Structure 1
């Protein structure tokens, strides 16, 4: 038992020395910035800070840029233990504010589970779908959003970014319109986001809405699977790492799903059907006037 304990402590000490801790803070109030994105130099994956604004970096990981919605992007030139992000302030033009009437309710999209799923590993991506406004010429708002989510049993509560992009000639805008950090419980659930106190305008041209996974320790889980190689050979009971949650799609007439792996937007199905079907993201928008 003593020898086992000594070996365990040695492994833990080696792991600790192979990592460095950093913290991301708001430059105005010095508060931690949770879930900030760390773009890593010469890596095809990124990391996010934890809820306390901290993150661990391996010795072979070097930050090239730090991003967080509502803040200016920070180019990193040298290593620091603490980084400060400046809040991003936009010049606001005069805007005519229309008060919601809440007289009517509509819905766009569907909450329907299918075998088609979207999941992530440490090499993650952003997935969005186009939600069209085909209701009327009056002002419409998003009141509530419903999303089927699945969180692996070892994760107590998962978080993800619910992202909104403008529809610019059938493509998502370069910059996000809105980003919300959403929590979802363990298991299979319908995660609901109540926007009644902070309605989002739903324009005539519609919106691209979808998910960006948060890559941190909170959302990581290990699972066992069978790996099938190109030559047809199989390896059973292989432990792999995933990032919660998993999302669903459903069969539809056509597909407007696009993904972004941090370079550019592209159609996820490349115009090809999967199992002779097109797919849409399983998201339902509840709208009001």
Structure 2
């Protein structure tokens, strides 16, 4: 019994010391920031926090910057277990906003359930496309967005960032105009984002709209398979980690 306990203790100790748990909080109210993005030093991938604002860093992972929409970017110089992000505040003039009346309906873009082309692994992926405004109306708002999604074997319902960028001379603006966290049900579906209560204005120059993957444990699933290489060699029972897989087109 003593030998078994000692062995178990050593294994647990190695696991704990090879990882570092961190938490990202709002500096104003100390609330956790879900899905904050951690840019890692000398890595070709990033990580996101979970819903509770926490994540685990491996022994060889160091954070260089922390990002989250609506907050100032935080450059990290030393390791901490808790990081505080400052909210962004913009001074704007008081304006009267009238709720738009959806009297006419226009559709931009097209989707098919068979159009499933993009997938995310551990790499950093953001995919955007320009949606042009060719509608001869003075004020146009986006009421609904439809996206083909496919989600398999995740721990919970999968999530991703639906991102909006202004069109600056045919290129996306350097900062996001809007970020919406979208939840996808398991299986192959058309996921709808209803913006009726908070419609987004659709400017004459159009918008870049797309997807940013949230890479965390919530969106991850693992499976075991045999890998056959081109040189004829074979790796048996390899475990592969994927994040949510999805879409190729969207419609607004």
- Per the alignment, residue 283 of structure 1 pairs with 250
- Per the alignment, residue 172 of structure 1 pairs with 172
- Per the alignment, residue 119 of structure 1 pairs with 119
CA distance in 1, matches of 2:183, 2:52: 15
Residue correspondences, number: 252
CA distance in 2, matches of 1:233, 1:20: 36
For residues 57-85 of structure 1, what are the alpha-carbon distances to aligned partners after superposition, in whole Å with 9 as ceiling and x for unaligned? 11111111110000000111111111110
- Per the alignment, residue 36 of structure 1 pairs with 36
Task: Report if the CA contact (8 A) 2:159-2:219 is conserved.
Answer: yes
Aligned-residue CA RMSD (Å): 2.4
Q: CA deviation at 1:231?
A: 4.1
CA distance in 2, matches of 1:243, 1:89: 33
If each structure's strand is expressed as a fraction of its own residues, which one has the higher value? Answer: 1
CA distance in 2, matches of 1:240, 1:174: 34
For residues 149-186 of structure 1, what are the alpha-carbon distances to aligned partners after superposition, in whole Å with 9 as ceiling and x for unaligned? 11112433111111001111221111100011111111
Task: Report if the CA contact (8 A) 2:166-2:172 is conserved.
Answer: yes
Gaps of 5+ in 1: 250-281
For residues 83-138 of structure 1, what are the alpha-carbon distances to aligned partners after superposition, in whole Å with 9 as ceiling and x for unaligned? 11000012325667454121111111122133651111122210011111111132
137-146 or 229-238, larger mean C-alpha shift? 229-238
For residues 22-81 of structure 1, what are the alpha-carbon distances to aligned partners after superposition, in whole Å with 9 as ceiling and x for unaligned? 111101111100110111111111111110011111111111111000000011111111
- Per the alignment, residue 263 of structure 1 pairs with none
CA distance in 2, matches of 1:112, 1:199: 24
Gaps of 5+ in 2: none
For the structure 1 residues 51 and 81, does the alpha-carbon distance in structure 2 shift closer, same or farther, using more than 3 Å as the test?
same
Task: Report if the CA contact (8 A) 1:155-1:186 is conserved.
Answer: no
Write out aligned runs for 1:241-260 (5 A). 241-244=241-244, 246-249=245-248
- Per the alignment, residue 108 of structure 2 pairs with 108
CA distance in 2, matches of 1:186, 1:11: 35
For the structure 1 residues 166 and 14, does the alpha-carbon distance in structure 2 shift closer, same or farther, using more than 3 Å as the test?
same
CA distance in 1, matches of 2:3, 2:155: 32
Task: Report if the CA contact (8 A) 1:18-1:58 is conserved.
Answer: yes
- Per the alignment, residue 136 of structure 1 pairs with 136
SS of equivalent to 2:246: strand
